[in-house]
Structure 1
C-alpha cells in the first residue's frame, strides 16, 4: 500500500522545501487533542492546556475532527491555489489570507474530508452542488456524533460564517499559545528546509526525499514518488510544483496531500522522541501475533485516529460485521484496544500508549 505522485516532467526549480506556520498550528492542535500520539510533547501539551482560557478550550472541541482524526487540507491552503505553484506564507496571517482565497466549494469539500463523503484523489461533485453528496455527508457526520453533525449542517447552510469562525479561532489560538511556540520552532524548521534544499541542489531529488523519510522513495524509472503508507492514493504534478513542508510537532505523522486538482504536498516530521520498549516477551509475542494479519494492521490505522463502531469499520473496509468483530476480538485479547459505550453503540479505539511500547517502527507505520 502506498501513495504515489506522478512527477513526469517535474523540473528541479519546481520543488520547494518551505515551513508552514498554519500546518504547524494544525500539528499543535492535534498534539493537544491526542497527546498519546506524541509522548515526547506531553510536557508542552500539559503546559499549554493549563494556561488555556476555558472558553477557547471549549471552542477547540467544536471542530476538533479537522485535526484530531484527520489533518484537514484546510491547513495547507496554498496547495489549493490556482496554478499549482503557490508557496506557504512566511506568517500565519499570510496563510490565513490564502485560506480566505479558497472558493466555497474548495473550503467545504476540504472541511468535510473527515466524513469520507467526497472523492479525494479523483474528480467528483461536491456537497455544495450535488444533493446526493450533501445527503451522504450529513449522514456520515451524524454517525460520528452530534458535534460533527451540527458543524456539517452549519457549514453546508452558511459556508462564509464557518470560514469566519475558523479564521477567528485560529487567530485566537495564535494569540493564546501558538505565536510563542512558532517563535521557537521556526528556526529549526527553516534550518531543516535549508539543508533539504541544499541536498536537493547537490545530490538530486532522490537524496532529498531519502532525507525526509525512509518511507519516501523516488522511482526514477517510473517517474514517480512512492510514499509507503497503510493506504492507497495517487496524484500527479501536472503543470504545478511539489512542496515539502517540515514539522517539528508532527512525528510520527508523515502526510501526503494528494487531493484532486491541488498541488501535492509531503508534510514530514523533523526528529522523533524516544519511546519505551516492551518489558515482557510473552506480551510482545501475543501482541505481534495479533498484528501479523494485514487486515488487522489496516484496522489499526483507522482505530489509531478515532473510535469506530463495528458497523462503521465494516462499511469502511468492505467487510461484514462478523468478520470485523473477529479481528477486533483478537486485538482486544492482546490488550491493544480500548472500548467505550455511547448510547447503544460500542466504540473501539487503538490504545496508542500500549502500541508505543511495541516500538517506534510500528507506531510510525500506523500513524503515518
Structure 2
C-alpha cells in the first residue's frame, strides 16, 4: 500500500520546499482537536484550550471535521490554483488570500472531503451541481451529528458566507494563539526548507526525499515517488510542480495531497522522533501476524526471558524441531528475533526492543 506521485519529466527547478503558515495553523487546530495523536503537544494544547475565549471555542467545534481527522486540503489552497505551480503565502494573510481564489466548487468539495464520498483522485460530480451527491453529503453529515449537518447545510446553501466565516475564524485563531507559536516555529521551518533545497540542488531528489522521511522513496527510474502509507493513491505532477511543505506540529503525520487536478504536495514533519529505519507497512503487517499466532505467542514468553536453541524450544513446547523452526522463521522474517551461535548451537532470543516499539510503530503507521 502506498501513495505514488508520477514526476515524469519534472524539472528540478519545478520542485519547491516552502513552509505554509495556513497549513501549520491547520495542524495546530488538529493538535487541539486530537491531542492523542500528538503526545508531545499535550502541554501546549492544554494551555491553549484553557485560555480560549468561550465564543471562539464554540466556533472551533462548528467545523472541526475540517481538521479533526487530519486536516482538509483547504489548508493548502495554493495546490488548487490554475497552473499547479503556486507557492504558499509568506504570511497567513497571503495564504488566506490564496484560499479566497479557489472557486466555490473546489472549496465545497475540499470541505466535504471527510464527510462525503466524492471522487478524490478522479474527476466526478460535485455537491453543488449534482442533487444526488448533495443528498448523500447531507446524509453522511447527519450521521456525524446535528452540528455537522447544520454546517454542511449552510455550506451547500451559501458557500460565500461560509468562506467568509472560515476566513474570519482563522484570523481570530491567529490572534488568539497561532501568531505566538508561528513566530517561534517559522524559523525552524525556514531553516529546514533551506536544508532540503540545498540537498535537492547538490545531491539530488532521492537524497532530499530520504531526508524528509524513510517512508518516502524515489524509484530506480527516477520518475515516481512512493510514500509508504496504509492506503492507496496516485497522482501526477503533469505540467505543474511538486511542493514539499514542512510542519513542526504534524508528527507523526506524513501527508500527501493527491487530489485530482491539484498540485501534488508532501506535507512532512520536521524535528520528529522518527527512527532511522522506520518500519514499512509490510513489515508492520508481518510483525502483527507473527505475534498473533498462539504458538508463537507462547514461544515469545520463553524467548523474551532467555536465548533458546530450536531443540530446547521443541522439548519445552512438545513439538518437533521442524515445527519450531517454521515458527522461528516467521518471527525472524518479521524482524522480531536475534540469533547468535555458540559452538554448534544457534541461540534465538526475542528482540524485546522491537516488540516494545510495535505499539508506537503501529500507531505511527496508521497515522502516517
TM-score (norm 2): 0.77
C-alpha deviation, 1:289, in angstroms: 6.1
Greater Rg, structure 1 or structure 2?
2
1:149 aligned residue: 149
1:25 aligns with 2:25: yes
Instruction: State the match for 1:73 in structure 2.
Output: 73
CA distance in 1, matches of 2:217, 2:16: 17
8 Å contact kept, 1:39–1:273 = no
Following the alignment from structure 1 to structure 2, what is the Cα–Cα distance between the partners of residues 11 and 274? 30
Runs (4 or more) in structure 1 with deviation over 3 Å come to 287-293, 356-360
Name 2:246's counterpart in structure 1.
246
- Superposed, 1:186-335 pairs within 5 Å as 186-221=186-221, 223-273=223-273, 288=288
Q: CA deviation at 1:273?
A: 5.0
In 2, Cα distance between equivalents of 1:116 and 1:189: 33
1:120 to 1:131, Cα distance in 2 relative to 1, 3 A: same
Residues 7 and 236 of structure 2 are in contact (CA less than 8 Å); yes or no, is this contact kept in structure 1?
yes
CA distances 1:259-279 after superposition (whole Å, capped 9, x unpaired): 00000000000122599xxxx
Q: Is the 8 A contact 1:40 1:273 kept in 2?
A: no
Counterpart mapping for 1:338-357 below 5 A: none
Question: Structure 2 vs 1, CA of residues 41 and 291 (structure 1 numbering), >3 Å: closer, same or farther?
Answer: farther
Deviations 1:34-86 (A, max 9, x none): 11111111111111111111111111100001000141000000000100100
Match of 2:239, SS state, is coil
**Partner SS for 1:61:** helix
Alignment of 1:160-199 (within 5 A): 160-199=160-199
Q: Could you list the per-position Cα deviations for residues 237-285 of structure 1 after superposition, in whole angstroms to 9, with x for gaps in the alignment?
A: 010000000000000000000000000000000122599xxxxxxxxxx
C-alpha distance in 1, partners of 2:157/2:7?
38
Which residue of the partner structure matches residue 317 of structure 2? none
Q: Measure, in 2, the Cα distance between the counterparts of 1:123 and 1:205.
A: 29
Alignment RMSD = 2.1
Structure 2 spans left out of the alignment, 5+ residues = 276-286, 294-355
Residue number in structure 2 paired with 1:133:
133
The within-5 A match list for 1:51-90 is: 51-90=51-90
State whether residues 40 and 274 of structure 1, in contact with CA within 8 Å, keep that contact through their aligned partners in structure 2. Answer: no
Aligned residues: 296
CA pair 360-271 structure 1, distance change in 2 beyond 3 A: farther
Query: Is the contact made by 2:30 and 2:70 (CA closer than 8 Å) also made in structure 1?
Result: no
Q: Is the 8 A contact 1:141 1:152 kept in 2?
A: yes
Q: Are the counterparts in 1 of residues 17 and 243 from structure 2 also a CA contact under 8 Å?
A: yes
Q: Contact 1:70 / 1:114 at 8 angstroms: preserved in 2?
A: no
Q: 1:357 to 1:147 in 2, by over 3 A?
A: farther
- Deviation of 1:357 after TM superposition, in Å, equals 7.5
Q: Is the 8 A contact 1:17 1:243 kept in 2?
A: yes
So what's the TM-score if we normalise by structure 1?
Answer: 0.77
